[in-house]
Structure 1
Amino acid sequence: MFTIITMRDYLPKIIGSESFQEFIGPYRGYDPTVNPSAANVFATAAFRFGHGTVSPILPRLNESFQEHERFCHLRMHATFFSPWRIVNEGGIEPILRGMIGSAASVASSKMLVAEEVTERLILMNSVERMDLASMNMQRGRDHGLPGYNDWRKFCGLRRVRTLKDLAEVVGDYRVAEKVLNIYKHVDNIDVWLGGLLESLLPGARTGPLFACLIGKQMKMIRDGDRFWWSAEGIFTQQQKNELLQFSLSRLICDNSDVGEVLPDSFQRGTYPCDYVSCDHIPSMNLEAWREKRLDLQQCAYPGTIKNGDFVLSTTSGKLVALYSCSHGFKLKGSAAIVCEGGRWNGQPPQCTDKV
Structure 2
Amino acid sequence: MTPKITCLLIISVLTCAIQAANYFKPEFSTAISEALHTALISLKKETSNVETSEEAADKLLQLLHKKGYSRSKPDLVEAMLKILRKMNFFGCTKEQRSSYRTLDGSCNNLRYPEWGMSFRPQSRLLMPEYDDGVSSPRLRTSDGMGTLPNPRTVSNVVHANTRKALSVEPKASWHPFQWGQFLDHDLISTPVFTGRDNNPLQCCENLENENLQKMVCNPIYVPTGDSFFKDGTCMNVKRSAPALNLDCSTLSGPRQQENQLTSYIDGSQVYGSSMAELVKLRNKKSPEYMAVSEGDNLPFNDDNSACVLTVKSEKCFIAGEGRANVVPSLASYHTLLVQEHNRIVNVLKGLGWTDPEELFQEARKILIAQIQHITYNEFLRWLLSADTFTRYGLQPTGQGQFFTMYDQRINTDIANDFGIAYRMGHSWIPNRMVLSTEKGENVNKMDPDYKDLDQTYFNPHMLFMRGKTGAHRILKWMSRDNCPLSDRVVEDSARNKLFLQSGISFDLAALNINRGRDHGIPPYWKYRVNFCGENVNNPDSWESLTWHTENSIQLLRNVYASPKDIDLWTGLVTEDNRSQVIGPTLNCILGAQFKALKFGDRYWYERPEPEGFSVEKLNAIKGTSLAALICANLNDPNFLMPQNAMYVKLQGNPAVPCSTIPKLDLSSWRK
Output the amino acid matched with 2:485: V
For residue 36 of structure 1, the aligned residue among 412, 437, 442 is 412
Contact 1:147 1:190 survives alignment (8 Å): yes
In structure 2, the residue matched to 1:186 is: 563
In structure 2, the residue matched to 1:205 is: 581
> 1:13 aligned to 2:13?
no
- Counterparts of 1:158 and 1:215 in 2: how far apart (Å)? 19
> 1:236 aligned to 2:608?
no
Output the amino acid matched with 1:88: M
> 1:164 aligned to 2:543?
yes
The alpha-carbon deviation at position 147 of structure 1 amounts to 0.8
Which runs of structure 2 are paired with 1:60-209 in the superposition (5 Å)? 60-68=435-443, 71-89=448-466, 91-109=470-488, 112-122=489-499, 128-153=504-529, 154-159=531-536, 160-166=539-545, 168-171=546-549, 173-202=550-579, 204-209=580-585
- Counterparts of 2:535 and 2:481 in 1: how far apart (Å)? 36
> 1:222 aligned to 2:588?
no
- Counterparts of 1:208 and 1:220 in 2: how far apart (Å)? 19
- Counterparts of 2:643 and 2:551 in 1: how far apart (Å)? 41
- Counterparts of 2:459 and 2:482 in 1: how far apart (Å)? 23
- Counterparts of 2:477 and 2:394 in 1: how far apart (Å)? 33
Give the direction of change, closer, same or farther, for the CA distance of 1:198–1:158 in structure 2 (3 Å limit): farther
The alpha-carbon deviation at position 72 of structure 1 amounts to 4.3
Contact 1:200 1:207 survives alignment (8 Å): yes
The alpha-carbon deviation at position 286 of structure 1 amounts to 2.1
In structure 1, the residue matched to 2:29 is: none
> 1:265 aligned to 2:645?
yes
Contact 1:163 1:177 survives alignment (8 Å): no
The alpha-carbon deviation at position 16 of structure 1 amounts to 2.0
The alpha-carbon deviation at position 197 of structure 1 amounts to 0.5
For residue 46 of structure 1, the aligned residue among 412, 416, 421 is 421
Contact 1:24 1:218 survives alignment (8 Å): no
The alpha-carbon deviation at position 174 of structure 1 amounts to 3.4
Q: How many residues align?
A: 283
The alpha-carbon deviation at position 151 of structure 1 amounts to 0.5
- C-alpha distance after superposition, 1:52-81 (max 9, x if no partner): 111213344324443237544322112212
The alpha-carbon deviation at position 102 of structure 1 amounts to 0.8
Contact 2:486 2:582 survives alignment (8 Å): no
- Counterparts of 1:278 and 1:39 in 2: how far apart (Å)? 39
In structure 1, the residue matched to 2:634 is: 256
- C-alpha distance after superposition, 1:132-172 (max 9, x if no partner): 11111111111111110001111122434422333x4221x
For residue 176 of structure 1, give the secondary structure of its aligned residue in structure 2: helix
- Counterparts of 1:267 and 1:232 in 2: how far apart (Å)? 32
Output the amino acid matched with 1:116: S
For residue 182 of structure 1, give the secondary structure of its aligned residue in structure 2: coil
The alpha-carbon deviation at position 87 of structure 1 amounts to 0.8
- C-alpha distance after superposition, 1:23-64 (max 9, x if no partner): 234554211111111111111x12111111112133443244
- Counterparts of 1:49 and 1:145 in 2: how far apart (Å)? 15
> 1:24 aligned to 2:393?
yes
- Counterparts of 2:634 and 2:407 in 1: how far apart (Å)? 39
For residue 261 of structure 1, give the secondary structure of its aligned residue in structure 2: strand
Give the direction of change, closer, same or farther, for the CA distance of 1:128–1:225 in structure 2 (3 Å limit): same
In structure 1, the residue matched to 2:371 is: 2
- Counterparts of 1:277 and 1:226 in 2: how far apart (Å)? 37
> 1:290 aligned to 2:665?
no
- C-alpha distance after superposition, 1:287-318 (max 9, x if no partner): 32234xxxxxxxxxxxxxxxxxxxxxxxxxxx
For residue 138 of structure 1, give the secondary structure of its aligned residue in structure 2: helix
- Counterparts of 1:281 and 1:95 in 2: how far apart (Å)? 20
> Is there any run of 5+ residues in structure 2 with no aligned partner, and where?
1-369, 396-402
> 1:275 aligned to 2:655?
yes
Contact 1:201 1:208 survives alignment (8 Å): no
- C-alpha distance after superposition, 1:211-233 (max 9, x if no partner): 11111100000000011111133
The alpha-carbon deviation at position 5 of structure 1 amounts to 0.3
- Counterparts of 2:439 and 2:465 in 1: how far apart (Å)? 21
In structure 2, the residue matched to 1:302 is: none
For residue 268 of structure 1, give the secondary structure of its aligned residue in structure 2: coil
Contact 1:250 1:282 survives alignment (8 Å): yes
Contact 2:431 2:452 survives alignment (8 Å): yes
- Counterparts of 1:95 and 1:25 in 2: how far apart (Å)? 30
For residue 156 of structure 1, give the secondary structure of its aligned residue in structure 2: coil
> Is there any run of 5+ residues in structure 1 with no aligned partner, and where?
292-355
The answer to which structure has the higher strand fraction is 1
The RMSD of aligned alpha carbons is 2.3
For residue 74 of structure 1, give the secondary structure of its aligned residue in structure 2: strand
Contact 2:641 2:655 survives alignment (8 Å): yes
Output the amino acid matched with 1:182: V
Output the amino acid matched with 2:389: F
For residue 443 of structure 2, give the secondary structure of its aligned residue in structure 1: coil
- Counterparts of 1:32 and 1:102 in 2: how far apart (Å)? 42
Contact 1:101 1:268 survives alignment (8 Å): yes
Contact 1:93 1:257 survives alignment (8 Å): no
Contact 2:435 2:470 survives alignment (8 Å): no
Contact 2:524 2:567 survives alignment (8 Å): yes
In structure 1, the residue matched to 2:209 is: none
